[in-house]
Amino acid sequence: MVKICCIGAGYVGGPTMAVIALKCPDIEVAVVDISVSRITAWNSDQLPIYEPGLEDVVKSCRGKNLFFSTDVEKHVSEADIIFVSVNTPTKTRGLGAGKAADLTYWESAARMIADVSKSDKIVVEKSTVPVKTAEAIEKILTHNSKGVNYQILSNPEFLAEGTAIEDLFAPDRVLIGGRETPDGQRAIKALKDVYAHWVPEERILCTNLWSAELSKLAANAFLAQRISSVNAMSALCESTGADVAQVSHAVGKDTRIGHKFLNSSVGFGGSCFQKDILNLVYICECNGLLEVANYWKQVIKVNDYQKNRFVNRIVSSMFNTVSGKKIAILGFAFKKDTGDTRETPAIDVCKGLLGDKANLSIYDPQVTEEQIQRDLSMNKFDWDHPVHLQPMSPSSVKQVSVVWDVYEAAKGAHGLCILTEWDEFKNLDYKQIYDNMPKPAFVFDGRNVVDPHKLREIGFIVYSIGKPLDSWLKDMPAV
Ligand code: UDX
Ligand code: ADP
């Protein structure tokens, strides 16, 4: 029986391995992690991540051919194929700070693999890594090989959170990069055979190592660039009276462009987009390609601009001050159907409002108070370290309260800010909410989930990203 071990039981490792176990009953899959609390959660009824459909998949194979364990060395030594899906934070100090990936966790995983391995291994890069990481890992392993033969593959994961299980069941493509040697090709074939249990052959793309590594960064950069493009248009729509939803619709009808991923928003978030673009920028700079680096940097600049613009709209609408005013934050996750808050635009918007001394009442159906307090008191890029290395008891921000009821959050608030597109925000009783707010009552919709006309009929002053402006907002600067 082929044995797979995945190092790192996070958002990528957990769901991906669960689906491999489900689709390949003849393969034994062990997911290992140094975090005891994460592994305990994977073995309980309360999984550590919220992902639609995940629980059913885990429950149907856990204890049969899917195991979660902290015994990292045992499972690594027994495995034929080792996936590595550990943290790759952005460096905050030293060479490449603020851009380059910190490969500390990757390197320690590679050294551990070399220490405990007694049989040949295929080592698969699963977490997104900078181009040429495979080469570095290969060097660590071969210099410590003790006669063991290692083949390195790059198999980047393209799943999106909230739809991870669907994406894994029917991926647009599976990408496998490896060495162009007979051993390299054999390793590619072994991994291809795993995916071939359920993925049609024509969707499994095999490339060289560097193409696979770069394709992942490129795909995320292209996707993020689309959002910054439409968000840049949203600012122009507000100035000209155009409606960004109508513009996106018209643009997306061109089959060369396509309609997906053209929703204007308060900004993109998530663990990948910013980090991967920063990586790309760093690689370009290291290769002397400054124009190319600047091109991609602009995608992040526009994203930051969009978040700032949103905060400025709120403050300027409320007579240029939110000091001491209660503002309800509806949604904190970086998108709907996930409890993940990594790089969520809500962090920057909340910090901006707190900087202007607002009191925030935050509601999100999937994010805990502890997580929100941690996010609002953490430094940039610190989120991407294993839990046990993060601050144990983060200081809580006093101007912030976190509630489990949306109407409670809104009660007495001067304004509502919608920061995540949770479906439940579409059909709230906005009349009841309005009646319990001081006047003028504002709605700032950062995800275009509410109908501004209906809300204006109730009496709200409404700002919706990229939509024709309320007369109240017209002469107020927000750039
Ligand atoms: C992304 C990639 O889609 C995935 O292929 C890769 O493996 C990891 O990074 P993810 O970050 O989970 O996945 O979510 P995604 O759906 O891509 O959304 C990223 C951000 O963009 C979210 O904050 C989302 O709200 C925002 N977004 C997305 C928009 O603002 N507008 C859109 O039209 C689409
Ligand atoms: P992703 O979104 O890429 O899955 P996560 O941060 O959710 O990233 O998961 C990475 C996991 O890797 C964390 O649970 C962390 O504890 C684990 N990890 C980091 N270094 C090691 C290591 N050397 N051995 C085992 N697990 C590790």
Q: Provide the annotated active-site residues.
A: 272
What is the average per-residue pLDDT within 336-360? 96
Per-residue model confidence (pLDDT) at position 134:
87
pLDDT category at 100 given cuts 50, 70, 90 is confident
What is the average per-residue pLDDT within 409-422? 98
What is the average per-residue pLDDT within 450-459? 97
- pLDDT of residue 291 exceeding 90, the answer is yes
Per-residue model confidence (pLDDT) at position 113:
96
- pLDDT of residue 475 exceeding 80, the answer is no
- pLDDT of residue 476 exceeding 90, the answer is no
Least confident among 13-27, 92-106, 320-334, 376-390 = 376-390
Per-residue model confidence (pLDDT) at position 393:
55
pLDDT category at 425 given cuts 50, 70, 90 is very high
Per-residue model confidence (pLDDT) at position 391:
62
Q: Which atom of ligand 2 is nearest to the CA of 388?
A: 16
Distance between CA atoms of residues 118 and 114, nearest Å: 9
What is the average per-residue pLDDT within 121-131? 89
Find out whether the beta carbon of 11 lies less than 6 Å from any atom of ligand 2.
Answer: yes
Distance 160 CA to ligand 1 centre (A): 7
Per-residue model confidence (pLDDT) at position 402:
97
- pLDDT of residue 91 exceeding 60, the answer is yes
How many angstroms separate the Cα of 123 from the Cα of each of 34, 109, 179, 246, 428?
18, 11, 12, 47, 49
Find out whether the beta carbon of 33 lies less than 6 Å from any atom of ligand 2.
Answer: yes
How many angstroms separate the Cα of 69 from the Cα of each of 5, 19, 32, 108, 388?
10, 17, 5, 18, 16
Question: Side by side, which strands form the sheet with 66-69?
Answer: 66-69, 27-32, 2-7, 81-84, 121-125, 150-154, 174-178, 204-208
Per-residue model confidence (pLDDT) at position 124:
97
What is the average per-residue pLDDT within 447-476? 93
pLDDT category at 394 given cuts 50, 70, 90 is low
* Contact indicator for 179, 91 with CB cutoff of 8 Å: no
Token pair of 31 as six digits: 């997911």
How open is the CA angle 221-421-361, to the nearest 5 degrees?
Answer: 115
Distance 88 CA to ligand 2 centre (A): 9
Token pair of 72 as six digits: 């990292």
pLDDT tens for 150-178 read 999 999 999 999 999 999 999 999 999 99
pLDDT category at 388 given cuts 50, 70, 90 is confident
What is the average per-residue pLDDT within 354-361? 96
Kindly report the average pLDDT of the chain as a whole number.
95
pTM of the model: 0.95
Q: Whose CA is nearest to atom 31 of ligand 1?
A: 263
Q: Which atom of ligand 1 is nearest to the CA of 12?
A: 7
Which of 453, 454, 416, 411 lies closest to 435, judged by CA?
A: 411
Question: Hey, which of 34, 71, 276 would you mutate to test ligand 2's pocket, going by the most ligand atoms within 8 Å of its Cβ?
Answer: 34
What is the average per-residue pLDDT within 340-369? 96
Q: What ranges in 4-48 are assigned the alpha helix state H?
A: 13-23, 36-42
Per-residue model confidence (pLDDT) at position 5:
98
Per-residue model confidence (pLDDT) at position 148:
94
Per-residue model confidence (pLDDT) at position 407:
98
User: What percent of the chain is modeled with pLDDT above 90?
Assistant: 87
Find out whether the beta carbon of 332 lies less than 6 Å from any atom of ligand 1.
Answer: no
Per-residue model confidence (pLDDT) at position 392:
60
Token pair of 146 as six digits: 């003790």
Q: Which atom of ligand 2 is nearest to the CA of 128?
A: 3
Question: Hey, which of 334, 337, 343, 447 would you mutate to test ligand 1's pocket, going by the most ligand atoms within 8 Å of its Cβ?
Answer: 334
* Contact indicator for 49, 85 with CB cutoff of 8 Å: no
